[in-house]
Chains A and B, each alone.
Chain A
Amino acid sequence: MNQITPIAEAAGCTQSPVLRERGQREVFCGLTGIVWLHRRIQDAFFLVVGSRTCAHLLQSAAGVMIFAEPRFATAIIDERDLAGISDANDELDRVVGRLVSRRPDIKMLFLVGSCPSEVIKLDLSRAAIRLNKSLGPDLRVLSYSGSGIETTFTEGEDACLAALVPELPASDAARLMIVGTLAEIVEDQFTRLFTELGIKNVGFLPARQAAMMPSVGRGTKFLLAQPFLAGTALGLERRGASRIAAPFPLGVEGTTAWFTAAARSFGIADAHIAAVLKAPAERAQHALARQRATLAGNKIMFFPDSQLEIPLARFLSRELGMVLAEIGTPFLHREHMAEELALLPGGTFLSEGQDVEKQLDRCRAAAPDLVVCGMGLANPLEAEGFTTKWSIELVFTPVQGFEQAADLAELFARPLRRRAMLRV
């Protein structure tokens, strides 16, 4: 197993040039994160202050209207608010009042900024302070922006978690904090492994309940479970915590390196680390073998979406033998991505940002065997003869850790197997 080793200069793609594009971006805005965040923090409510478009986006991104009364809603700004006939702040207080009376079970309320609320400069952080005075301490009111002008898709989660950081209880005790939303099953697996490794004081941000958020201070070391948390990491560092640099826990190699980095930073001996990780790593490698037969040698291209693209490309090329065509990412955070870039095959074509028409031209020219892209592009590309994997599933599915490595590979293998099966 590949252990964490000091990275040689210019290893992998560390120094590779990146194509930067600024054109039409076919991506979700940060509001979309509410779809999974509201399931994660089970006593939180997310109130978007925005337009009918925001409400429609959330409904469409949720894909199905399954929750009879979801823990998210939109306060739709109307012309009266814009014309100044009604005071937008009074209106917001009224809407929050109605909401709180309907849902007294809510312990944490996020006021979520949108493109229109940003443009009209409705100050939601001040509104949150005001509402805290009237509704606290039983209900905590926070704010963040999920607007498309400021956040791309998963950056909405970053903004939400960054808003939580100043609220975390203070403690300088030595502890490990895992940062980024994970499925509960993954969190439980990780907790068991950390216990076996000998790290006992482990907290997860965000926690499942508003009152259970982990404490932070100079003794806190944090490990990013998701690659899109730049703002949250900065906030935690400001509160004295230090980041453990590691690749992301996708695939056997990434998960091994991730746990190893954490364990080493807590002074745990390599032999013990290797002993604990051996069995789950071997089991996962065994499970990957079947997918490798489907995926090896196939060329894959990523359209920018969640910032998971680079870690996924690393997993697919190194553990499953896929050939990398263009790897697009909405934003490249060189520091958080350093360990990942070092592991990518040298000369991989990286692009940041998007000009969707030009990227589609490049896709047609590269003729990949599998295209990873958003739902707006997938069916049209299928109709052109491409095989696609729609990318939002990568965010909505438990994919991190050893036990999910084969599930993650399966997400890419299934479209290829399906295309091979169909005879119509």
Chain B
Amino acid sequence: MQLALWTYEGPPHIGAMRIATAMTGVHYVIHAPQGDTYADLLFTMIERRDARPPVTYTTFQARDLGGDTATLFKTAVAEAYARFQPQAMLVGASCTAELIQDDPGGLALALGLPIPVVPLELPAYQRKETYGASETFYRLVRACVSSTPTATTGAPVSCNILGPTALGFRHRDDVTEVTRLLEGLGVAVNVVAPLGASPADLARIPEATFNIVLYPETALTTAMWLERQFGQKFVNIPPIGVGATRDFIKAVAALAGIDATEYMTRHTSRLVWYSRSIDSTYLTAKRVFIFGDATHAIALARVASEELGYEVVGLGTYAREFAREVRAAAALYNVEPLISDDYLDVEAAIKAASPALVLGTQMERHIAKRLGIPCAVISAPVHVQDFPARYSPVMGFEGANVLFDTLTHPLMMGLEEHLLGMFREDFEFSGDTAPSHLGGGTIVAPQAEIKADAATWDIEAERELRKIPFFVRGKARRNTETYAAQQNLRVIKIETLYDAKAYFSGDAA
């Protein structure tokens, strides 16, 4: 048993719903008790979809358990087929139905429907949403493609884009951006799946020259199978940030047998110049804490470090399936990787790292708000705000433009920071009010822990400390107290403050 306050991922059947809802011509029948229909609102409310997810629930109740829940399931499948006429059907159980062991797959196959019926075995007490999405996509692709590939000799070079789902972080716009990029390179996009694809489209996947794994969480398993089955190579570099986009283009060019040099001289991101422009100097070594799904967390660490000159002080993921990749990335930045789906662990790690910026999910947005730290959302789990009305990809060169804005706007601007340093006693820039871009109001600052043996501040030193701009004051206080402890000082005077400043100068801000 695990105590959970908030969860990063839903159960695996939610992952299956993200596949079914992304597609056309698919219907998913879930053996599930009354109440599990809550999942519909994830799609209709958070993503603002204008149609119900293509999902039928049996919604059995206690009185059905004594009777024949198997018949209830068969009836639901038959009625859903008659009403929706899908090209393929997914059938499975939610957590409770898994316990009553009605065998949805066997029951549905016994109906002899004239379409592919794909039974989903998603162990609800072991696995989670991401696994459910990946497994469902894989099963569905296997059920829809024919085992003998069609001859593609002489056809122009093409690829499939695999991985985008419903309820994904910016998937809609990423697909548009990456499609545009590929077409610019002269590589045709054969199928995008699951987002927007039908089972008939899945059947055409083997016709492409190679695959692009846009989101490994959903598509890597499928891409590996397609490689084994049809010899389709795949590109597994999510093009998030300038460097990753260039790496992606090179990998695509290699598989497509084309020369991308000219394309790369003509196309770039404004991030490259904006980051070099002198106003960005203030971004240097800003401490950033990054947490999210593996793809976005790893990619954003690279963007933050290599492309904005931040210092990565924390990196983690809730997705244990990709713990290895995140550990490897954390090693690059010399930080301890945080692999946890316990919200309280993440909160504690952020508090301990005291970053200047948090890049995370909706959960970290709330943690950061409470701690008074600027934050930008860079990964699922998502909220209605993560489906902006405007075009807002995070992939490709336009995505890098978006990321420059996303990663810098929550911070104070360079000139503003200098003015604060000069006019440090300005009554309007009080450390007790939250910055206007965080909505103003009073900061609920984490209380500094008072240690029994901590040095005390004399009045003069305390007054001097108040003159230091509030956004570095916490660090100045910590450094001074650490220094005082090292020097066995019982009282901190003004001299101690400046001794500590000199001692620690050169460390990252």
Binding site for B on A (CB under 8 A): 23-32, 49, 51-53, 55-57, 59-61, 63-66, 68-70, 73-79, 81-82, 86, 88, 91-92, 94-95, 98-99, 115-116, 118-120, 147-150, 152, 357, 374-380, 382-383
Contact = CB atoms under 8 A, between A and B. Distances in A.
Contacts of A375: 40-41, 44-45
Contact of A56 (B2, B10, B58): B10
Interface string B50-88: 111000111111101100000000001001000100000
A148 B2 contact: no
B125 interface: yes
B62 A149 contact: yes
Nearest to A48: B4
Given A148-B34, A376-B40, A380-B44, A119 B100 contact: yes
A70 B126 CA distance: 25
Contacts of A118: 62
- Leading 9 A-B pairs by shortest Cβ distance: A29-B35, A148-B35, A376-B40, A383-B50, A115-B96, A91-B1, A51-B95, A56-B10, A148-B34
A25 B42 contact: no
A53 B42 contact: no
Given A24-B76, A115-B95, A78 B1 contact: yes
B4 A376 contact: no
B1 A68 contact: no
Interface string B23-38: 0000000000111111
B128 interface: yes
Nearest to A75: B1
A26 B144 CA distance: 31
Given A79-B125, A383-B50, A53 B36 contact: yes
A24 B3 contact: no
Contacts of A66: 366
B389 interface: no
A53 B347 CA distance: 23
Contacts of B347: 68
Contacts of A76: 1-4
B245 interface: no
Contacts of B13: 53
B94 A53 contact: yes
Nearest to B369: A68
Given A65-B362, A78-B2, A116-B96, A150 B44 contact: no
Contact of A99 (B3, B14, B363): B3
A150 B76 contact: no
B278 interface: no
Which of A31, A73, A116 counts the most B-chain CB atoms under 10 A from its CB?
Answer: A116
B366 A29 contact: no
Given A24-B76, A376-B38, 12 more contacts: A24-B37, A24-B59, A28-B38, A29-B34, A52-B124, A53-B10, A55-B4, A56-B14, A77-B1, A92-B1, A99-B3, A147-B35
A376 B2 CA distance: 29
A53 B95 contact: yes
Contacts of A29: 33-36, 38
Contact of A79 (B34, B57, B123): B123
Interface in B184-243: none
Given A74-B4, A99-B3, A119-B96, A68 B61 contact: no
B49 A75 contact: no
A380 B95 contact: no
Contacts of B60: 149
A59 B3 contact: no
B41 A380 contact: no
Given A115-B96, A118-B62, A379-B49, A52 B34 contact: no
A412 B52 CA distance: 23
B6 interface: yes
Contacts of A147: 33, 35, 62
A303 B178 CA distance: 42
Contacts of B3: 73-76, 95, 98-99
B5 A73 contact: yes
Contacts of A78: 1-2, 125-126
Contact of A68 (B11, B65, B366): B366
Nearest to B363: A65
B62 A59 contact: no
B261 interface: no
Contact of A61 (B11, B38, B370): B38
Contacts of B94: 53
Contact of A88 (B1, B79, B83, B370): B1
Contact of A53 (B11, B34, B100): B11
Nearest to B14: A56
Contacts of A74: 3-4
A371 to B, nearest CB: 14
Nearest to A88: B1
A380 B52 contact: yes
Contacts of B52: 376-377, 380
Contacts of A92: 1
Contacts of B358: none
Contacts of B110: none
Nearest to A152: B34
Contact of A52 (B11, B65, B362): B11
Contact of A149 (B51, B61, B362, B367): B61
Contacts of A59: 6-7
A98 B44 CA distance: 36
B276 interface: no
16 contacts: A24-B58, A28-B37, A56-B7, A60-B42, A64-B383, A65-B366, A68-B347, A76-B4, A78-B126, A82-B125, A88-B1, A149-B60, A374-B41, A376-B37, A377-B44, A379-B44
B34 A149 contact: yes
Contacts of A120: 99
Contacts of B409: none
Given A73-B4, A95-B1, A24 B56 contact: yes
A220 to B, nearest CB: 31
B466 interface: no
B32 to A, nearest CB: 8
A57 B7 contact: no
B445 to A, nearest CB: 14
Which of A52, A68, A380 counts the most B-chain CB atoms under 10 A from its CB?
Answer: A52
Which of A27, A53, A76 counts the most B-chain CB atoms under 10 A from its CB?
Answer: A53
A56 B11 contact: yes
Nearest to B47: A379
